[in-house]
Each structure stands twice: as structure tokens, then as C-alpha cells.
Amino acid sequence: MKISVIGAGNVGSLSAMRIAGEGLGDVLLIDVVKGLACGKALDLEDARPLLRYNYNIKGSDDIRLLEGSDIIVVTAGLARKPGMSREELLAKNAQILKSVSLNIKELASEAIVVIVTNPLDIMTLYALKVTGFSPKRVFGMGVSLDSARFANLIAHDLGVMCTDVEAQVIGAHGEAMMPLPSFAKVKGVALDEFMDEEKIKSLVSRTVGRGAEIVANLGTGSAFFAPSAAIASIVKAIAKDEKRVIGLCSYLNGEYSIKDTCIGVPCRLGKDGIEKIIELELSGEERDKLRKSAETVAQAAAQLPV
């Protein structure tokens, strides 16, 4: 299997390392900055004897090496800089993603494509439109990371192992995300058996603001350890045909009473991409909030040139 990661920044390069370490296939790291992907790939190669992983990884600035890729992870894009509006970020990253998507369409027309570029939900819908691929094969990372953050915060607060916590987040990957406390469990026991409503609300708020909290502490840049772990888990589920249920930014065509847009929901993932969208039993208020968030994504993507 050939797995390509486009974008050799912190998220892309660490994702490439995690994917290679899982032994899922040959990994290609690509970046437009001359020498960047190659240098990082050489460094990752040198780590093999120390890590005791016999993986194959290459780096290049030649996008045409995408040809024949089975899975493509797209992390390429700009981070928001001081003084830059969200609209400016959207316009610039849309230009980057359009070019990448057209190359994928030409060179790897059978690939499964995982979008990580922000704003993630809008970029996922845009990539889907530009490539014209089946929605089963183009989706975004998004809420799998947010669910992990929610689970981690619950585990910290209760002083339990994070592996004992199940947490669910749906919606947009950003401030409009929807952590769902009613679906959170600790060793199969409902979260409200362990804490009161005020504490739960506090954890929901912290989950929504977790990315911003990390950025504020870093000073420059954003999270990359957890995002790369989320990416690697998605790629592994595809490569090993795990049939796992993972939160993904997926195209909805009637599910949750939402049509023709992308938003984060749980999906069963296997070797052919998204096999099934899981519809949770949401309250009326939760359904309305999810629908409004999805409409915002569709409206923003509609302004971008295909």
C-alpha cells in the first residue's frame, strides 16, 4: 500500500512517522518547500534502527509522485496569522487545496483522501467538489480529535484511565463543535453518575476551547501530537479494514435531516472508506444545532470557485 502525506509541517511529518511505524505501507511525504519533505524523510529513516521499525519513507517536492497512492492525507495549508481574518485564511487555503485536489484527481483517482487542512469542514466539502470523488472516499479528520480531547479531560477530572472513557463529539471542527455528555461513559457507566451538571458543562466548555488553549500556550503554531495520532488511527482503520466507528467530517445526504454538505458524525470506516454513517439519537435542540452548523459549512463552501 502507498500512503502519501501532503504537507511536511509538524502535523504532516509526525503523521508520516506514526503511519510508517504502524507498518501500513510505503509512506511518501510531500511539501512544496524545496528540500523540506526530503530532509524530514531522511531524518525519519535514520530513526528506524533506534525505533526498531523497518518502515519505508521518502520525501519530495514533486507532486507527481502522488501517482498510484492508495491513501492520501492532506495537511497542507496556512495557519492563521496575527491580523489575518478568517475569510482571508479560507481564501488562501482554498487556493492551496484546489491545486492539491486537482493533482489528486489526475494522479490518484482511486485514492481515499483524508482532509486535515483548516477550516476543516469547509475544506472537506470543497475537496469533495473539486475531485468529484465518491463521498465515501473523501472525508475529514475533525471530531475524532475532539472526541479524544473530551475523553482525556473527563479522565483527568475523575482520575481514571483514559482507556476507560468513551466520549462523543459531533458537528464542526471548531468553536461550533458539539460534545455530547449524554453519550459519554466511564467503564460503561453514564457520565452523570460521576459528576453534576455544572462540572459536565465545564468539561464541555474546556473541550471546545482546547485547541485555542494549546495555541495560547505554544505562542506560535498549534497542536500536532494529538492531531497526528488521530490521523494515524484513521489511516490504520482503512489500511487494516478495521470496520471501526470513528468520528469523521463526512458528506451527509439526508442523514440527520442534512443534505449536500459535510459535518462531523460517527462513521464506520474500512478499506473502501466510509461504509456507514451512524445516526445518533439526538435531542431536537442538538439536531437543530447540528443542522445550522452544517448550513454554515455549505454556505461558505458555495462561495469558493470549483
**Dist. CA 169–CA 211, nearest whole Å:** 14
**Dist. CA 24–CA 267, nearest whole Å:** 21
**Dist. CA 232–CA 141, nearest whole Å:** 10
- Name which of 174, 248, 167 is nearest 212 in CA terms: 174
Q: What is the grid cell recorded at 134?
A: 465518491
- In sequence order, what are the residues at sequence separation of 6 or more whose Cβ sits closer than 8 angstroms to the Cβ of residue 277? 250, 252, 255, 265, 266, 267
Angle value at C-alpha 294, between 293 and 296, nearest 5 degrees: 65
Cell 476551547 belongs to residue: 209
Active site residue 173: yes
Q: Write down the catalytic residue from 173, 180, 191, 263.
A: 173
Beta bridge partners of residue 244, listed in sequence order = 269
Angle value at C-alpha 238, between 240 and 178, nearest 5 degrees: 130
Phi, psi for 172 (deg, rounded to 5): -75, 150
Q: Which residues are catalytic?
A: 173
